[in-house]
Chain A
Amino acid sequence: MTAATKIRASAKDGVTEVRVLMQHDMENGRRKDEAGNLIPAWFITGIKAQHNGRVVLEGQFGTSVSKNPYLIFRFKGGATGDKITLSWLDNRGETRSDEVAIS
């Protein structure tokens, strides 16, 4: 089970700023649990952001992005009510997509 990505998008002076907080452990595969067993790597490998279906940002992550990845980016255009979608994919093949309207 994965938790919803928190997204806030606001348009001002012709530019939309998107703030994203993904919910993910981002385990790097080098840490051990209390019993000394290696915790398997588990992390987001790719993200994609869309504005009304148009891709406005794509990214690849390694294991050094902090737990619960945080991201701010900006694109030209965007108006109140437009849809912003943020999708991610992790190394287990799990995906998640969340949507918000620009405020």
Chain B
Amino acid sequence: MERRKALKTGGGLGLLGVFAILGLTPGSVWANAGRAAFEAKTLDEAFGALGVLAPENSALIKLTAPDVAANGAVVPVTVESMFSGTEQIAILVEKNPTMLVASFVIPDGTEGYISTKIKMAQTSPVIALVKANGKFYRASQEVQVTAGGC
């Protein structure tokens, strides 16, 4: 019950966040698309909200993450896309309460490279999703989490 309440609270604030974004920079990329994908509780939901249809696995995406993460609160993840027309890079954790961690828009002239640090609740596949030339591709890697940090 409490967990339910917590999720609801988080969702409500997320929505406020969307409105705030819309008010701040109308028409800019960080305003559009809404944030439905960030509320997704399953991979299918997340992909659906991102407008992704069954992304193919691709060797042109290099996902770097540790095999074992001692601290789930800080797991370094790097995504490198070798596609020339990389438009978007997203990072998802399949077994987190909400799967989508972050989504980046890559404008022309910016390399298909993102390195960041993420939280993981438990051992899970980490998924890198790349949109290139209008199509989505993915790469994934299992990260074993010793102490969850979500």
Q: Which positions in B face A, CB cutoff 8 Å?
A: 2-3, 5-7, 9-10, 13-14, 16-18, 20-21, 24-25, 28-31, 33, 35, 38, 73-75, 78, 93, 96-98, 100-107, 109-111, 113-120, 150
Contact = CB atoms under 8 A, between A and B. Distances in A.
Interface string A45-73: 11110000001111111111111011111
Instruction: Report the interface size class on chain A.
Output: 35 or more
Instruction: Please classify the interface of chain B as helix (H, G, I), strand (E, B), loop, or mixed, using the class held by over half of its residues.
Output: mixed
Given A59-B104, A63-B10, A75-B110, A30 B116 contact: no
A65 to B, nearest CB: 6
A56 B2 CA distance: 41
A64 B102 CA distance: 8
Contact of A62 (B24, B102, B106): B102
A66 B101 CA distance: 9
